[in-house]
Structures are given as structure tokens and as C-alpha cells.
Amino acid sequence: MKHLVKTILKYTINVFFFLLLVPAMAQQEIVIDKIIAKVDDYIVLKSDLEKAYLEYLSRGEMNSGNLKCQILENLVVNKMMLAKAEIDSVEVDDAEVSANLQQRLDYNISQLGSIEELEKFYGKTYEQFESELFDLIKEQMIVQRMQSEITTDLKVTPNEVRKFYNSFPKDSLPYISTEVTVGQIVSQPKPGKEQLSKVEKQMIEIRGRILRGESFADFARLYSEDPGSASRGGELPFYRRGELAPEFEATAMTLAVGELSMPVKTDFGYHLIELQEKRGNSFKTRHILIIPKPSLSDIELAEKKLDSLRTLIVNDSITFRAAAKEHSDDAATAQTGGYFSDNDGGLRVSVESLDPNIFFTIDTMKVGDITKPIRYTESDGSTAFRILYYQHRVPPHQANLKDDYQKIAQAALNQKRAKLLNEWFEKAREDVFINVDEEYNYCNLMK
């Protein structure tokens, strides 16, 4: 396995995105399945290889060498990580997997429009889709955690960064396009007391009608705003303690089987919950979710608050970074002080990576400017406001230590990580059984 580390760093197979990108291709491709590699109790199927191969081709990326061998190598590496994780007791809690899975499903439902469109697109039910993806995502998360365990606390010194930089001929250093440092503070209108009261009243009315004999499932299909359960009459699978919102769980665990709760408020909205079954620390429920919507006055209030915050920043009463961390409703940028970041966490990003609306806005700004609140539409269709801070701009240039220290340091760290992983792989091979089908001997995976 002479290229194990190079392969795993260069290309991490994500079966989940294969399912998103090329489901039709996967359905048309007929593969006579068999086990082509085994690492302890973990197996790689021929269909795994073929699906991953199709996924790579669908992205239209250039590749040198034997692509199928590289992909098979990476699949074997992942199984090796899983086997070693089992030996070393490295685990991922099912609650983390469920949260990750739900986030991905919600995103794709929002992109396709509805759960019915999701099922139509993939030719399978939501339950089948959810069940198939759970194990795949859990494996991915375990592999990621293993890599993190192996390389934890790994750092590079300034001297190592300079040596790495000087190891490249000057004429081979990469050319870097325009980069900017841009921050945002987002204000998402929140429904006020009037809207909350309106939804709570609606839920109480629905509860009364259900108790008088009308169908819970019909109300769920008609009113519930949970895309994953509405089409199933509000039914949820079994969950264990700690996997759902605390308020939801606390109510569900105190209900008698068949009992219908009063409206329960969580961060998602208001729920009516009916307990269907309980097994120790696990429970099965069905629910109706209604999400309160902000009124026009709530939307206006959010814009005014953001404008007042901008005034404080402009008058130096608070720094942009502090204001973003304390007040921004966008969790991803709030943790970096409002600034957009690249894949390595750097706060200087390529202009090509920016949302087009943000790019065209800063294109009309001067460095140092902060916009007035700008109204825009979130991915879920809701209204929000943001102010943008155009802090810095670096014109196109050839990579150098002065302007690109963080990027060069990250590349040096990646090289150091690769070396450490390579040493780990060589040692870990002694702890696991690896066997590759003779059909793939030409890939030389065992050398």
C-alpha cells in the first residue's frame, strides 16, 4: 500500500454525495456483487467500488494513474481505519450520527422542494434512504475521528514552514488569485409574542379536534412542517434519550402510551406529541410541528436592531468581531468573528468562493466599508438581513511567505500529517488481517 496516505489525503470517498449526485447512474449500472477486499470483519464489495468510481467520474475531475486502483485503495484504507478504531475503542455516538444525517437530509429536501420529490428522485422511500445512509455516515465519522486521534496536537514551527517553502523552486510556486477578508453579521427575524401565541392557540385547537375523534395523521399531513414525518402522518422512528430536543424528550417520556401532549415549544417550533411505544430508554412517537413565522413588524424590528448595531461598530463602541460573536444569527461565521473562512480555517478567501450576491456587493465597496443592512433570502426561503464588512483585499500574486504564511503553513502541516499517517498505517497493518481478491492483484495494494 505504497500510496495509502497520498490517496486518503488527496481523495476521500463520500458515498453519501455519490447518492446525491448520480442516483440514476447507480440504478442503471448492473453489478454482479462479490467481496473484493476484507479487513478483519469489514468488507469492500465490488458494487462499492463501482459506485465510487461512477461518483468520481460524475465530478469530471482530471486523474492520473489507475483510477479504480486508487479508489479501491482508499476503500481499503477506510476499512482499515474502522477495524483499528474497533481495536482502540474509538467510537461515534449514534446521536451524533443522527444529527449529522438529519442535517444532510434537511438540506437535500430543501434543495429538491419536498420529501415526496426526494423519494421520487431516488426511487426509494424516506425510511429506506434514512436507513441506508445511517451506517455510511457513521463509518465516515469514525474514519474522521480516527484520523483526528492519530494527528491530534500536530503542529509546525515557523522554521519548518520556511524549510517547506524553500524546498520548492521559485518558478514552481502556485499563483494565487484575488483574495479578500469579508465578514457578516446576520439578523434573522424572530416571531414575536403575538405570532407565538397565534401558533399555540392553533395547536390547542388541533389537539381538541384530535381528542374529539379526528385523525392525528390527517392533521400531520395537512399542517406539520417536519418534512421527514409529515407525509407519514407524523410518525417518527424509535429514539433514545439524548437524541431529540430536551423539551420534546422530557414530554414524551412522561406520557402514557396513546396520550396526546399539550403544545410543547422547542427551538424548532411547537409540537403536539403522541407516545406510541416505549422500550426502556427508547421511545416511539408521532408529532405535529408548526413553526411560528415572524410578522412584518418582527421583520422591521430585526432590520432596525441590525442598523443600530452597525452604528455602534462605526462609532467604535464595539468591534465588528465582538458584535458578530455576540449578536450574529449565522452560527458558521459568528464563531470566526463574522468572517468567512476557507477549508483550512483561514480568514482570507478567494473571491470565486464567495456567494455571488456577496461578491457583487463588495465589488461596489471600498476596503474598510461596512454596508447598511441588506435584505436577502435564506436557503429555506426565510427573510434575513446582514451587514457586510470589507476588511482587506490581496491582489493576484505568486505565493510567498509574507502574504501567504497561513496557507504555506497548512500545506507544511498536511505534509507532516501525511508522514505521521504513513507511519501509523505501517504499524497498524500488523494488527489487522487484510485480504484483496486476486482479480485486483494488478493494483499492488499489498506492497
Report the topology of domain 4-157+405-443. Answer: Triger factor/SurA peptide-binding fold (1.10.4030)
**Alpha-carbon dihedral sign for residues 413, 415, 421, 424:** negative
Residues belonging to the chain = 447
pLDDT, residue 22, reads: 40
Amino acid at 72: L
pLDDT, residue 380, reads: 74
**Every domain of the chain and the residues it spans:** 4-157+405-443, 178-190+295-395, 193-290
Q: How far is CA 339 from the centre of its chain?
A: 19
Provide the residue-wise pLDDT of the chain in tens; the chain has 447 residues.
444 443 333 333 343 433 343 444 344 444 457 888 888 888 888 888 888 888 777 765 555 567 888 888 888 888 888 888 888 888 888 878 888 887 787 777 767 767 777 778 878 787 787 888 888 888 889 888 888 888 888 899 999 999 999 988 888 888 888 999 999 999 999 999 999 999 999 999 999 999 999 999 999 999 999 887 888 899 988 888 888 889 999 999 999 999 999 999 998 999 999 999 988 888 999 999 999 999 999 999 999 999 999 999 999 999 999 999 999 999 889 999 999 998 878 899 999 889 999 999 999 999 999 999 999 998 778 899 999 999 999 999 988 998 888 888 988 988 888 888 878 877 877 788 888 888 888 887 766
Report the topology of domain 193-290. Answer: Chitinase A; domain 3 (3.10.50)
Compute φ and ψ for 162, nearest 5 degrees: -65, -45
The model's pTM: 0.66
Eight-state DSSP code of residue 370: B
Say if residues 23 and 60 touch (Cβ distance below 8 Å).
Answer: no
Reduced to 3 states (helix: H, G, I; strand: E, B; else coil), residue 265 is strand
Rounded CA-CA distance 285/412 in Å is 51
Say if residues 308 and 161 touch (Cβ distance below 8 Å).
Answer: no
pLDDT, residue 59, reads: 61
CA Rg value for the chain: 26
Q: Do domains 178-190+295-395 and 193-290 have the same CATH topology?
A: yes
What CATH number should be reported for the domain whose range is 178-190+295-395?
3.10.50.40
Burial (CB count within 10 angstroms: exposed 0-12, middle 13-18, buried 19+), residue 120: exposed
Please, what is the average pLDDT of the chain? 85
